[in-house]
Each structure stands twice: as structure tokens, then as C-alpha cells.
């Protein structure tokens, strides 16, 4: 099979070295983080089941593995927009992502010159950095969309790769065949992917094929040179439950499966992006379908959001879908904040969205039997039994909020909280087990 061949070009990427039987320092770091043998990681990378997005220019990176039988990773989206271009707020979001241990940050800045922020982020970030070069094309090139050429688009991809971006979202699966399926079958929400909509508009205006599809080999050459992982974007992802698992989504997924093998043949690591919005009973089947059609490449999903009627609470609807998706085979969750569909998220939204998504990821890891997942919960339970509040805070996904809530209403009885006070079941049974007599009236 193509994904098990040793490529003949110069060894640059993690998949190049893995196929040659060599364990890189990044593979060793991932193995240690995951509690796996280095050879387990190497075999997964060589087969394409695991990706280690690690641009050779990103020197501050602490590598992470994304893929089969590894911890579910979480991504934070941030970046300025044309309406809200406050870079300081974006750095606050970065600090929250670092504080709460997000494994990835996507800079989705889409207004003006974005390179300065991107390069400084890469310089300081231990988390892997992703971008969507299509978002940057208009600001970087200073051209109208319909005036941009295929070579222009490739130049933007090249610049992001040279800057040190670890993975790039490339919407190469939206080709003429995909668009034909979409137009024939129709949709309630049409195309909701920002990058996908721009490519669709460019294709319709120029009459040309998707440049990222037509010149896919050239894109792969650029990515291979810098070891940038390609995240094959789902331009036709459903933007509402009504459109989930339709002809547009599935026809694009078929194309992405073909593109996955071509990337592996070129020595480029692959992740595949997925929906979107989807009813809860469709999620597991979609995860299995992606793994089958895309040859077990790591799957990166946004949500999915399991209902469309909870604006302001979409971090919850996405976390529900994310837990189901990850427990059914998804490897990487993109967070969703309470501001989804409403505005650019602020720092508070980022914290809320990231915590919700990390809960979903951890819940899925328990279900998948990931090493160490259940053990952390057991340590929390033991700390609760011993009423060791400091240890409980330290084990929490977000240590800040539980401390703040607990200290906002101090209990009269040491070791308890104001929910039960001296009638705390844990306190009562602890005393009985220690041979003490319980006398609530005199305590």
C-alpha cells in the first residue's frame, strides 16, 4: 500500500523517518506523553494513523501526536477579524489556551497583515499552530478575490510553511464533482465553511477548478519541504442538522480519501477535518465512515453541534457531540465557544469553550480506554474521600473555577462544603470508619 512505502526523496517529515524505521525525538516525546512505546508511535506515523504536526521551523514546539489510541487532543481557534482587530485580546486568549493545556491553536486571523502575529505566536508557543492560508490570501496579496491566481494561492501556503506553521487547512476536496453534487441536491444552509465559501466564489467567478485541487502536487511539495501536516478541510461540512450526511458532505469525503493517499505518497502527514452540525444518532456512523473512506487518517472535528437551537450555549451542544464523536473514533476536537454564531469570542468565551471541549475529550478518553484517563478520575475520587481540597483543585481540568466557587461560601465545618455541612456523607462515613461516634447535634 502507498502509505507503507519508503519514499525516495530526502527525509524531512515525521512520516519519512517513520517509514525508514527511524524514531525521531518528536516520536520519543509523544511516546512519553502518551505512555506508549516509541515503536508504537513510529508504526502509527508510518501507517498514517498518527500525525505529529511539527514544522521544522517551530523550535518552541512540544510535539503532540494526533491519532489512533492516543489521547484526544483539543484545538483553540483565535485571531483578529475586520470588525474586532484587538491584538491584545488575542494574546489574552493565547495565555488561556496555554494555561488550560490546549494542544493546538489555530490562528484564523482574516484581516490585514497577519504575519507579525502569526510569527510571534509560533515563536512562543509550545502548542502546535494551525492556519487556513485561504483566510490570509486577500490581505497578504492585496488583491480582489477574483484577481488572485493559482500561483498566488500557493505563495500564501509557502509563506505560512516558511513561518513555521505546523498544520494548514487546505480545502482541496471541493472540486467540480463535489460542487455538482451540492448543486443537484441542494441544501438548507448551503456552504458554511469560510474557506470553502471563498473557494466556491472564486471557482464560480473564474470558471476554473479549485486551485488547491488542480495544483495539489505543488501544495504537497511545499508542505513536505517544511514538514507541515495537511489538514484536509471539509468545505462542504453541514452547517445545520438538516444538511448532515448529505450528498455534498459525502462526495467531498470521497475526494478527501483520495487526496489522503496522495499526500502520504508525497511524504506529507495528513489529518482529515469533519463536521460540523449533526444529530447525535448520526455521529458514530460518520466517524466510522471517515475512517473507512480516509484510510484511518486522524480525524479532526468541530463539535459536532447536536442541535441548532441553543445560541449562546453552543459550547455545550458541541461538547455533547464532541464526546460522542471522540468516543466513536475522532482524534482531535476543535473547541466551540458560547459566542459561536453570534460574535468573535472574547477571553471569557475562550475559557468556557476550551473547558467544555476538554471535558468532552477526557470523557471520550475514558470510554476509549486511553492509558491514564481513568486513573486521574480515581485520584480525584480519592482526594474527595480524604476531603483534600487542594489536591482536588490541582486535579481539576480548570483549577481556577472550583477554588473560586468553594471559597465564595466558606463552610462552618472544616473539610466540608456548604452543600451538606456537618451532614456530609463522606465526612460521616470517614468518622465511622475511624471508629468515632457521630453526634450531629453537638458538632
pLDDT in tens, 149-160: 999 999 999 999
pLDDT of residue 441: 67
SS (H, E, C) 107-135: ECCCCCCCHHHHHHHHHHCCCEEEECHHH
pLDDT at position 80, please? Answer: 82
Supply the pLDDT for residue 7.
47
Predicted local confidence at residue 396, as pLDDT: 97
- pLDDT, residue 221, reads 98
Are the C-beta atoms of residues 76 and 354 closer than 8 Å to each other?
yes
| Residue list, annotated binding site for Zn(2+) | 277, 341
The yes-or-no verdict on residue 235 having pLDDT over 90 is yes
pLDDT at 246 over 90: yes
Query: What pLDDT is stored for residue 443 in this prediction?
Result: 67
Per residue in 331-367, pLDDT tens? Answer: 999 999 999 999 999 999 999 999 999 999 999 999 9
User: Residues annotated as binding site?
Assistant: 77, 106, 135, 171, 193-195, 234-237, 273, 277, 300, 341, 417, 420, 424
Asked whether the predicted pLDDT for residue 240 surpasses 90, the reply is yes
Binding site residue list for substrate: 77, 106, 135, 171, 193-195, 234-237, 273, 300
Binding residues for [4Fe-4S] cluster: 417, 420, 424
Average pLDDT for the chain: 94
pLDDT digits (tens, 9 = 90+) for 366-414: 999 999 999 999 999 999 999 999 999 999 999 999 999 999 999 988 8
Query: 2-368: which CATH topology?
Result: TIM Barrel (3.20.20)
Percentage with pLDDT > 70 across the chain: 97
Q: Is 9 helix (H, G, I), strand (E, B) or coil?
A: coil
Share of the chain above pLDDT 90, in %: 87
Q: What is the mean pLDDT of residues 5-34?
A: 90
pTM of the model: 0.94
* DSSP symbols for 363-376: HHHHHHT-TTHHHH
For 82, what's the count of Cα atoms within 13 Å in the CB-facing half-sphere?
A: 6
Q: If residue 88 lies in a helix (H) or strand (E), which one and from where to where?
A: helix 87-99
Mean pLDDT score, 187-216:
96
pLDDT average, residue stretch 57-70? 98
What residue has cell string 463536521? 275
Long-range contact set of residues 149-153: C-beta below 8 Å, sequence gap at least 24: 149/211, 150/208, 150/211, 150/214, 150/215, 153/211, 153/212
**What are the residue ranges spanned by the domains of the chain?**
2-368, 372-408, 409-443
Q: State the alpha helices, DSSP H only, in 125-269.
A: 133-141, 150-163, 176-185, 194-206, 211-214, 216-226, 247-265
| Residue 10 binned pLDDT confidence (cut-offs 50, 70, 90) | confident
Q: pLDDT digit string (tens) for 360-376?
A: 999 999 999 999 999 99
pLDDT single digits (tens) 76-126: 999 987 777 788 999 999 999 999 999 999 999 977 778 999 999 999 999
- Residue 51 pairs with which residues in a beta bridge? 66
The string of DSSP letters for 37-64 reads -HHHHHHHHHHTSEE----TT-TT----
Amino acid at each position: 500500500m502507498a502509505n507503507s512505502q519508503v519514499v525516495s526523496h530526502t527525509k524531512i517529515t515525521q512520516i519519512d523517518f517513520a517509514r525508514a524505521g527511524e524514531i525521531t525525538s518528536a516520536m520519543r516525546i509523544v511516546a512519553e506523553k502518551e505512555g506508549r512505546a516509541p515503536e508504537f508511535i513510529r508504526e502509527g506515523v508510518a501507517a498514517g494513523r498518527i500525525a505529529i504536526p511539527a514544522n521544522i521551523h517551530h523550535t518552541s514546539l512540544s510535539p503532540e501526536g494526533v491519532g489512533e489510541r492516543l489521547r484526544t487532543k483539543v484545538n483553540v481557534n483565535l485571531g483578529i477579524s475586520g470588525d474586532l482587530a484587538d491584538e491584545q485580546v488575542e494574546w489574552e486568549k493565547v495565555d488561556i489556551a496555554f494555561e488550560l493545556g490546549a494542544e493546538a491553536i489555530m490562528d484564523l486571523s482574516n484581516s490585514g497583515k497577519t504575519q507579525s502575529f502569526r510569527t510571534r505566536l509560533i515563536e512562543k508557543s509550545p502548542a502546535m499552530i494551525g492556519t487556513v492560508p485561504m483566510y490570509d490570501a486577500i490581505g497578504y496579496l492585496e488583491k480582489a478575490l477574483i484577481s488572485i491566481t493559482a500561483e498566488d494561492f500557493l505563495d500564501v501556503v509557502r509563506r505560512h510553511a516558511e513561518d513555521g506553521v505546523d498544520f494548514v487547512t487546505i480545502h482541496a476536496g471541493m472540486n467540480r464533482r463535489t460542487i455538482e453534487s451540492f448543486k443537484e441536491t441542494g441544501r438548507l444552509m448551503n456552504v458554511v465553511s469560510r474557506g470553502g465559501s471563498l473557494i466556491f466564489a472564486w471557482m464560480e467567478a473564474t470558471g476554473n477548478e479549485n486551485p488547491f485541487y488542480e495544483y495539489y502536487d505543488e501544495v504537497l511539495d511545499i508542505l513536505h519541504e517544511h514538514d507541515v501536516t495537511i489538514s484536509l478541510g471539509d468545505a462542504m461540512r453541514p452547517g445545520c442538522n438538516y444538511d448532515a450526511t448529505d450528498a455534498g458532505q459525502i462526495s467531498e469525503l470521497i475526494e478527501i480519501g483520495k487526496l489522503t493517499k496522495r499526500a502520504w505518497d508525497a511524504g506529507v502527514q495528513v489529518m482529515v477535518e469533519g463536521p460540523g452540525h449533526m444529530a447525535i444518532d448520526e455521529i458514530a456512523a460518520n466517524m466510522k465512515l471517515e475512517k473507512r473512506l480516509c484510510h484511518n487518517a486522524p480525524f479532526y472535528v468541530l463539535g459536532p453541534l447536536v442541535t441548532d437551537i441553543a445560541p449562546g450555549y453552543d459550547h455545550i451542544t458541541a461538547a455533547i457531540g464532541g464526546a460522542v464523536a471522540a468516543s466513536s473514533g475522532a482524534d482531535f476536537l476543535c473547541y466551540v465557544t458560547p459566542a459561536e454564531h453570534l460574535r468573535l469570542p472574547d477571553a471569557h468565551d475562550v475559557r468556557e469553550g476550551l473547558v467544555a471541549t476538554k471535558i468532552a475529550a477526557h470523557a471520550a478518553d475514558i470510554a476509549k480506554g486511553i492509558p491514564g484517563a481513568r486513573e486521574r478520575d480515581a485520584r480525584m475520587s480519592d482526594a474527595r474521600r480524604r476531603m483534600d481540597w487542594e489536591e482536588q483543585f490541582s486535579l481539576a481540568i480548570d483549577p481556577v473555577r472550583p477554588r473560586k466557587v468553594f471559597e465564595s461560601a466558606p463552610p462552618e465545618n472544616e473539610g466540608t462544603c456548604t452543600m451538606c455541612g456537618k451532614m456530609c456523607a463522606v465526612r460521616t462515613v470517614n468518622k465511622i470508619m475511624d471508629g468515632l461516634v457521630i453526634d450531629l447535634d453537638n458538632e
